[in-house]
Amino acid sequence: MTPAVRSVALLAALGVGWFVAAQWGLRGVDESAAYGFFITALLGFGLYASTSGIEIAEFRRQFRTVVIAVTLGVLAKVVLIFGVMYLVYREPWHLILAVAVAQIDPLSVAAMRAKSRMSASAKALLSAWASFDDPITVLLTVYITSFALQGGAVGGFGAFSVNFLLNLALAGGAFVVWRVVRRHVAGDRGRLGRVLVRTALVLAVLAVGFVAVQFSLLLALALIGLFFRPDLGRCVDGLAEVGLFAATVAVGLVLAAEFSWALAVVGALLGAAAFLSQGVVALVLTVPRRWRGDRVRLCLGQQNGLTAIILALLLEPKFPGAIAVVAPAVVVVNLLHALANGAYDRLQPPGVRVGGLAAAGKPSVPVSSRPRVPAPLAPAAFRRVERAR
């Protein structure tokens, strides 16, 4: 699916949700328990899909840069986005919206990766960055929301600490189960045995996922995605795409009652600030010479999708209007991404240096600067020279 077709399909899904809500007069959909569970499950699956799809070897090679990007980088982006919003609107609660759009959508990065002209190292960095900043922004959103609703009480941090420890405990239990099942995989090489083991792994992931969603232990799902990986081919990526469309329909259900042009303008500014913040942070992270050929593309790498949408849906009951701001912001970010990267591709001449290689995959040495090597004499010409001597 090309980016253009994907964008049209997502807008159509948004329209479906909007039409259903308007046709049946649905109001307060986001306040129902079933809706909350559904959205939390989508968010948990999105976190699992983002970390289960990352290449561990590539992640290890870029570990230091990735850690800086998903910790200090995310915090810096939040500060920059909130700074722009606060200068214009003077609304402290915009800090939570800044967190919701600070991450990079891993599904969009995966979809664009095959056609990207970045080097392999830059693709690995952006993929790992997108996969691991999702859990960080989810944790920040949960903590800041709890902190704000309790008026800055210390109890909010205590609850956050307990929740963090429970996440680690659930992930640790899943790790033990994975090690036990892995021994059976090593001992049984038959086809039936592999099918049974794969089925057991899928059931174990679903069980952990249900517990995580039921008790809001979503970080555990991101952690188990690093090791608990049943061999399902591209099924997880396909389900993640389905989840994105389902979340978009859910946005339409809420947005039909919440949309206003005033909030859409706020969302447009939020999206522009998010896109620009990526440029600033990536510019700082790519100071080393090895990133010189990919620097601009990493600066233009901001995309938003499933996580930003679902975080907005989770925030809507506590902060009415959140979805009406974040939904336009997601549209603006992805539009700026498409326009900026398309313009940069057109401005670059053929054979331009990309990560040390030309666009065609050959060394980017201009023809005029290559050393001249005399052409070898043909055999007939060589004999004529010998006779002349």
294: nearest Cα among 303, 307, 285: 285
Mean pLDDT of 322-343: 88
**In this predicted structure, what is the pLDDT of residue 343?**
86
**In this predicted structure, what is the pLDDT of residue 364?**
41
Mean pLDDT of 141-153: 65
Q: With a cut of 50, say whether residue 356 has pLDDT above it.
A: no
pTM of the predicted structure, to 2 decimals: 0.74
Least confident of 9-18, 229-238, 318-327: 229-238
Could you report the per-residue pLDDT of 173-223, keeping only the tens digit for each?
Answer: 999 988 887 776 655 556 777 777 778 888 888 898 899 888 878 788 888
34-348 CATH choice from 3.20.20.10, 3.40.50.800, 1.20.1530.20, 3.40.50.620: 1.20.1530.20
DSSP codes, 143-204: HHHHHHHTTT-THHHHHHHHHHHHHHHHHHHHHHHHHHHHHHHHH--SHHHHHHHHHHHHHH
Instruction: Decide: 270 and 97 in contact? Cβ < 8 Å.
Output: yes
Mean pLDDT of 138-157: 63
Most confident of 73-77, 243-247, 380-384: 73-77
The residue to which tokens 């009951």 are assigned:
317
The residue to which tokens 């001249």 are assigned:
372
Spatial distance between the Cα atoms of 340 and 336, rounded to a whole number of angstroms: 6
Buried b (16+ CB within 10 A) or exposed e, 188-212: eeeeeeeeebeebbeebbeebbebb
Query: Which pair of tokens denotes residue 62?
Result: 């870029």
Output DSSP code: residue 104: P
